[in-house]
Amino acid sequence: MEFISWNIDSLNAAVEHTSARGEMTWSVLQEIAAKKPAVFAIQETKAKKTGLTKKQTEVMGELFPDYFQYANISMGRPGYAGTLMLSQQEPLQVDYPTIGAPGDMDLEGRIITLEFEEYFVTTVYTPNSGSELARLEDRQAWDHAFKIYLESLDRQKPVIVSGDFNVAHQAIDLKNPQSNHHSAGFTDEERASFTELLEAGFIDTFRTLNPTKEQIYTWWAQISRTAKQNNSGWRIDYYLASQRLRSQLKDFTVLDTGERRDHAPIKVVFDFKS
């Protein structure tokens, strides 16, 4: 069973595809649709406060026919953050949880959870600590609250969680660890929080399958024209899973986005037959 997750950085840009970058995003979206994942999770939809537009809903319905669509819209900051999940199977329940995060974080549409008979599938768009780490303290509070939330799910049944976690866990997970030691996404505090999440009973599916593999990244800075060419990236997008799903984990892939910088989609495969 295949699951795909992607920080799309504006669903509207993909649907309208009126710019060169929008065309690239649209092309990747079409490729994902052709793969027909069981669940497709999207972060950073940047939808309006009123929700997905009629065109966005229709286009996604055409790309993913017979899928169930669930959107969590940012009410705190319109046109910001937001998540979307598409599922071939209708879930038993859909939740748009608040986790007691500080400020407006709980109002930014950052989490969707689908409950199925044997497991939960959830996606998250983790807040960025921001320039000069202005949001680091709030980010740490978010990480702690999200860990508690995942633990509550895991006590009920296994969990598969994807998303943009906005952290490179280890030095191996970014091209230039030395020069980014105090940058958002690679601070000691953020990395420690991610370690705590794994220690709470979850595996990093990519690193489980590839313990020492280097130069595999999921994000390259848009502002750098050579970031993708030089593979100067970060691995900040993950599929985590409850430890008891480890034996059913079969594959993990970062999907190719060509020249398009920013995030790349990630795909994980589980065998739920055995």
CB 11 within 8 A of CB 52: yes
Tokens read off for 222? 């848009």
Give me the DSSP letters along 196-216.
HHHHTTEEEHHHHH-TT--S-
Q: Which residue among 154, 164, 204, 237 is the active-site one?
A: 164
Q: Would the annotation count 262 as a binding residue?
A: yes
Q: Is 60 helix (H, G, I), strand (E, B) or coil?
A: helix
Q: Would the annotation count 176 as a binding residue?
A: no
Helix residue ranges, H only, 64-161: 136-154
Q: Which residue among 17, 154, 237, 263 is the active-site one?
A: 263
How many Å is the maximal CA-CA distance in the chain? 48
Instruction: Report CA dihedral (249, 255, 219, 239) to the nearest 10 degrees.
Output: -20
Q: Would the annotation count 182 as a binding residue?
A: no
Q: Would the annotation count 7 as a binding residue?
A: yes
Active site residue 17: no
Type of residue found at 105:
M
Q: Would the annotation count 169 as a binding residue?
A: no
Please report where in the chains the tokens 């079969």 appear, as a residue: 250
Active site residue 263: yes
With a CB cutoff of 8 Å and minimum separation 6, the contacts of 58 are none
Q: What is the DSSP letter of 133?
A: G
Type of residue found at 235:
R
Q: Which residue among 67, 70, 119, 125 is the active-site one?
A: 125
Cα–Cα dist 92/70, whole Å:
13
The catalytic residue positions are 125, 164, 263
Q: Which residues are annotated as a binding site?
A: 7, 44, 164, 166, 262-263
* Residues in binding site for Mg(2+): 7, 44, 164, 166, 262-263
